[in-house]
Amino acid sequence: MRILIFGAGPLGSLFAARLHQGGQQVALLARGQRLADLRKYGVVLKSWTTGQEETVNVPLVEKLDPHDLYDLILVIMRKNSALKILPILAANQSPQIVFLMNNAVGPQALIDALGRERVLIGFPGAAGYREGHKIVYINAETERPATPYIGKVDGGITPRLESIKAALAQGLYLQPEIEPYMDAWSKYHVALLFPSLAPTLYLCANDNYRMARTRDALVLAWRGIKEGFRVLRKLGYPIRPPAFKPFLLVPEPIMVAFLRKILQNPRMEVAMVRHAEAIRDEIQQLNSEFMQLVGQSAVFTPTIRFLVKQFNEKASAFPDGSRTIRLHWGGIVVPILLLICLVLALALLI
């Protein structure tokens, strides 16, 4: 399969390298200084986990002409950048274009530009950042393969998706999955991160360890996530992945402790912190898109509105370690009371 990676940022470079190493006929489209660096050094990958470096000499192109025909184009870039290249993609006749990116409002803009039959959507399932000309990454390595998700704009599983999955699976350390509700998956992913975790991380000076010890930020993040999920459920989107469902039943104090544990993981430097520092414009766009969904749902979302406003206005950070917001203990108190009543009843019977 002849594949073009459109977008030579951290993840586009990573995917191009892994597909090339897996024997696929892949080209990486780059421009400007990034193209110059790639011509000079190749794709230089540095594992955040081990520090090990490797160089992969991926074939390069600097433009996509209308007559250039690829079996598959993977667009791996921020959504606000992807929208700008739609005229270039529209002028080209390659039959399958997969957009691996965050997207809150759905694929309609992509469909309008390219036609429903050409557009597929997904998410890369890896993370990374630039360190000079090098790409520092997590996932897509021996112990932790990357899991890119792909799907149709209107859902379902087809032979075409199976063919694309098989092509991506040839890439080194890539384990792609077909998501039958990819649009819903994308929306829940946005709800999880952008109007909730991203603003609270910002309010902790983009420091995951500071956020972990600032209970007010953890509480607001969790309440924002729950509000976002309520918006999507009200609009009829199934919870994706289904593993999210049990978390919504967990009492707030337990989830706050869970978030604290996650944010103390050093991998958050790559998965969240470095990414958040570089994509303020994308965060604002995705938050704006999600607020459109909030408006459509008419769900009351005071936490999300507060967090988005704080982020947009570049508000001052929370005091380090602040604990002024009261936890909601209702989800714990009731089961404890029931358990006490049960124990007392058993004691009386005995």
Mean pLDDT (the chain) is 93
Look at residues 180, 196, 229 and tell me which one is the last residue of a structural domain: 180
DSSP string, 82-115: HHHTHHHHHHS--S-EEEES--SS-SHHHHHHH-
How far apart are alpha carbons 273 and 210 in whole angstroms? 12
Residues 215 and 296 in one domain: yes
pLDDT tens sequence across 154-163: 999 999 999 9
Q: Report yes or no on 79 lying in a domain.
A: yes
Residue 339 has pLDDT above 50, yes or no: no
Read off the pLDDT of each residue in 90-103 and give the average, rounded to a whole number: 97
Q: Report yes or no on 212 lying in a domain.
A: yes
Residues 222 and 135 in one domain: no
Residues 173 and 88 in one domain: yes
- Alpha-carbon distances of 55 from 44, 47, 123, 136, rounded to whole Å: 4, 12, 25, 12
Contact 87, 113 (CB under 8 A): yes
Residue 81 burial (CB < 10 Å; 0-12/13-18/19+)? middle
How far apart are alpha carbons 19 and 339 in whole angstroms? 55
Torsion angle of the four alpha carbons 182, 183, 186, 192, in this order, in degrees rounded to the nearest 10: -120
- What CATH number has the domain bearing residue 115? 3.40.50.720
Query: What is residue 159's predicted lDDT score, i.e. its pLDDT?
Result: 97
State which residues form the domain around 143. Answer: 2-180
Read off the pLDDT of each residue in 125-135 and give the average, rounded to a whole number: 95
Residue 337: pLDDT band by 50, 70, 90 thresholds?
very low
How far apart are alpha carbons 123 and 176 in whole angstroms? 10
Residues 50 and 112 in one domain: yes
How far apart are alpha carbons 202 and 193 in whole angstroms? 12
Residue 332: pLDDT band by 50, 70, 90 thresholds?
low
Q: For residue 71, what are its two tokens?
A: 């079996």
Percent of the chain with pLDDT over 90: 89
Look at residues 118, 148, 180 and tell me which one is the last residue of a structural domain: 180
Q: Report yes or no on 76 lying in a domain.
A: yes
DSSP state of 269: I
Query: What is residue 331's predicted lDDT score, i.e. its pLDDT?
Result: 61
Residues 173 and 205 in one domain: no
Residue 307: pLDDT band by 50, 70, 90 thresholds?
very high
Q: For residue 128, what are its two tokens?
A: 């990374």
Residues 176 and 207 in one domain: no
Q: How many structural domains are present in the chain?
A: 2
Percent of the chain with pLDDT over 70: 94
Query: What is residue 279's predicted lDDT score, i.e. its pLDDT?
Result: 84
Residues 290 and 171 in one domain: no
Q: Report yes or no on 21 lying in a domain.
A: yes
Among the residue ranges 23-37, 189-203, 307-321, 324-338, the one predicted with the least confidence is 324-338
Residues 103 and 200 in one domain: no
Residues 120 and 203 in one domain: no
Q: Report yes or no on 348 lying in a domain.
A: no
Determine the length of the chain.
350
pLDDT tens sequence across 38-87: 999 999 999 999 999 999 999 999 999 999 999 999 999 999 999 999 99
Between 329 and 140, residue with greater pLDDT: 140
Among the residue ranges 34-38, 318-322, 325-329, the one predicted with the least confidence is 325-329
Residue 271: pLDDT band by 50, 70, 90 thresholds?
confident
pLDDT tens sequence across 163-173: 999 999 999 99
Q: Report yes or no on 345 lying in a domain.
A: no
Cβ–Cβ contacts within 10 Å for residue 71, how many? 15
Between 41 and 333, residue with greater pLDDT: 41
Query: What is residue 335's predicted lDDT score, i.e. its pLDDT?
Result: 52
How far apart are alpha carbons 187 and 125 in whole angstroms? 15
Residue 223 has pLDDT above 70, yes or no: yes
Residues 176 and 252 in one domain: no
Q: Report yes or no on 322 lying in a domain.
A: yes
Q: Report yes or no on 341 lying in a domain.
A: no
Residues 15 and 156 in one domain: yes
Query: What is residue 250's predicted lDDT score, i.e. its pLDDT?
Result: 92
Residues 118 and 207 in one domain: no
